[in-house]
Amino acid sequence: MDDLNLQWSLLAPEYILVGWAGMVVLLDLFWGGLRKDQLGYVAAAGALAATLVSLIWINDDTDFANLIQINNYTTLFRVFFGLIGFFAILASARYVRDRLLHAGEYYALILLAVVGANGMAASGELLTAYVSLELLSFSLYVLVSFAKFDHRSNEGGLKYMLLGAFSSAILLYGIGLIYGVTGSTHFAEIGAQLTGDTSSFDMALFLGLALIIAGLGFKVAAVPFHMWTPDAYEGAPLPVTALVAAISKAAGFALFLKLFAEAFLPLLDEWRLFIAVLAAATMILGNLVAIQQHNIKRLLAYSSIGQVGFLLVGIAALSPEAGSALVLHLVGYVITNLAAFVCVIIFYNWTGKEEIEEYAGLAERAPFVALSLSVALFSLAGMPLFAGFATKFILFQAAAQEDLLWLAGVAVLMSFVSLYYYLTIVRQMYLGKPEEETRFPTPWLEYGVLATLVAGVFLVGLYPQPLFDVVEQGTAVIFSGSQAAGAVGKP
């Protein structure tokens, strides 16, 4: 266990984030003159800096003490999470200034959440992964209940926190069993252990696998482990909802994909069906219940559950193709979702309302926001010109390639269902009569953020090749090992 690579500089982005977090807190403490939204811009700069720094390791492939792997996969997600943090912070600035206390801590927690997410994507080992996961979760627990005096925020936080603890206990128990049967916590080693004959310790192995699926399923909100999602989303302060929707899912799937690709791929044929069924159940429930929602946050929560179902399709059809398709869809989805949430945030900043009826006539009062929201929603529904269509198409095709045509069918059917409730929002905005005719004031910063995201939606929708190239290079590395073991996908 000697000659470990302890080159700390590999962790520069994380150090930057942590340091920046501390700085923000201190700024908040000692520089009273600094406006709370300006504080946000400082924090955003931190996220951006970390993102840029992490670009250093493009096409690098090394590891830190066998725990943290710095390769394209990591870099991809470092950049991804960094940008998520960046946009989330920018989107929150005005909201935090007007509605929340403790701005410094708020931003610091977002930055720390990004650190946790990076850890989840980077770690090649269960302990590190678990700890990072807890770092992310803790930050989110706090952020969700950040509106101290808002009962709903409080309740959401409580449910999220307690269930989170419960599920991480389950996850740990599973990890324990896996450790028990394989004697290792490194993904690669576990994978190697499982390639052989496992019949002697199947019992513990599959119980452990089931528990791990449950634990990760909770983090990414798969049915039936999803129930915290709507409440947490609805309770949380809006920007936090956006953050949770984006980063916890993204990080969850980063880990999910890496773990299953590197460690559990040999057992693919055993667990594929379970994931497939989970995926189906998730997308069905998420989309059908979403029809019934009248609160836009809750609706987006359920729609995100539905999206998790689609993403799980990628896990079920696990193969290098499906992996890259999954990440591609993940990126597209997160961009779109952020765009949608930014619209909701802007509207909330104006009116403090979040019921769908209250969006009536938005097209009159703020055409740009209405248009962007429509774009985002149609993209979520998987309509062409927008990100959703291309990414979904490729993801589901990947599933079909793996003999999961039925699952792809369910997925398509459900994204058709989703179109219905997205259209109801569009109807409100374009057909509803606004209570007053006046235009809303223009928040340039948010509009800038929104424009960028919408541009991203169109870019992914109209020319995904570059992004797809990057993604594929990113995901290639996590399959390299198992390809050596010759256990990729089906024969």
Hey, which residues between 352 and 411 contact other proteins (CB under 8 A)? Answer: 378, 383-385, 389-390, 393-394, 396-401, 405, 408-409
5 binds other proteins (CB under 8 A): no
Q: Which of 259, 253, 252, 313 is nearest to 281 (CA)?
A: 313
Six-digit token string for 423: 């259209």
Q: Where are the alpha helices (DSSP H) in 246-319?
A: 249-262, 268-290, 296-316
**Tokens 């999220």 belong to which residue?**
160
**Contacting residue, 74, 75, 145, 482, with other proteins by CB under 8 A:** 145
**Contacting residue, 206, 350, 440, 447, with other proteins by CB under 8 A:** 206
Footprint of other proteins on residues 221-250 (CB under 8 A)?
A: 223-225, 227-228, 230-231, 234-235
Six-digit token string for 430: 């374009």
440 binds other proteins (CB under 8 A): no
The rounded distance, in Å, linking the Cα atoms of 418 and 290 is 8
Q: Which of residues 94 and 159 has its CB atom nearest to other proteins in the complex?
A: 159
**Contacting residue, 166, 439, 455, 490, with other proteins by CB under 8 A:** 166
458 binds other proteins (CB under 8 A): no
Footprint of other proteins on residues 315-334 (CB under 8 A)?
A: 320-321, 324-325
101 binds other proteins (CB under 8 A): yes
Footprint of other proteins on residues 277-296 (CB under 8 A)?
A: 285, 288-293
85 binds other proteins (CB under 8 A): no
4 binds other proteins (CB under 8 A): yes
CA dihedral 399, 400, 406, 412 (to 10 degrees): 70
Q: Are 457 and 467 in contact (CB under 8 A)?
A: no
The rounded distance, in Å, linking the Cα atoms of 312 and 309 is 5
Q: Where are the alpha helices (DSSP H) in 202-266?
A: 202-220, 228-235, 238-243, 249-262
47 binds other proteins (CB under 8 A): no
146 binds other proteins (CB under 8 A): yes
Determine the interface stretch with other proteins among 86-94, 268-276, 434-442, 443-451 (rule: CB under 8 A).
Answer: 268-276
41 binds other proteins (CB under 8 A): no
Q: Are 184 and 190 in contact (CB under 8 A)?
A: yes
12 binds other proteins (CB under 8 A): no
Name every residue whose Cβ is closer than 8 Å to that of residue 224 and which is 6 or more positions away in sequence. Answer: 281
Footprint of other proteins on residues 183-202 (CB under 8 A)?
A: 183-185, 200-202
